[in-house]
Chains A and B, each alone.
Chain A
């Protein structure tokens, strides 16, 4: 079945450092890819998404590019802030076929802590 693997955490950075959180996936066909974020005490929120190969999703300074050749969707940000401290989840969803539509398959999450 489908699966998502994220880099081991936690990740601790100083403010203004460069962030990369690796995500790779295993899936049949051409899934859509997502990054969700969970801030302390809050629910999961969609951060960005990409629905086909070579698409780049971006939001709040974060970016991720859908790389089908390497089955990856790595999250990057050029300069992190303390307010970016959260848990980040990579996820996929199948686009077509059967009853698997829509349901999200998540990675295990990566805890990011940014210090001033």
Chain B
């Protein structure tokens, strides 16, 4: 079956611009996560959705970052006034059950490589 997909695979933008990154989770998965991976580092948690609501957004670095999941499936990560330090690979993951009902495997997408010039 189809895995987690992310678009675009690569995004190059200029400092100060607005970008949107899209994540399509595995069909039926209720939990969705966003992570950011800088070069040579492990992924860092940004935000977790359970259904349509953001259950934990403690990892968002500042108010330039925002994410939505209006229908409980596709999610969009939005970054305003991009800075060079935002350059990274943005990863999305989904899992079938909410945590707390039995820890479930997170399936990761291939990521979107964002480069801010």
Contact = CB atoms under 8 A, between A and B. Distances in A.
Interface in A1-53: 4, 32, 36, 42-46, 49, 51
Interface in B9-61: 31, 33, 35, 40-45, 48, 55-56, 58-59
A46 B43 contact: no
B95 interface: yes
Contact of A45 (B31, B56, B59, B108): B108
A93 B109 contact: no
Interface residues of A, number: 26
A89 B45 contact: no
Interface in A85-105: 89, 91, 93, 95-96, 99-105
Nearest to A9: B40
21 contacts: A4-B42, A32-B103, A36-B108, A43-B3, A43-B108, A44-B93, A44-B108, A45-B108, A51-B103, A89-B42, A93-B99, A101-B56, A101-B98, A102-B48, A102-B95, A102-B98, A103-B56, A104-B106, A106-B43, A108-B41, A109-B42
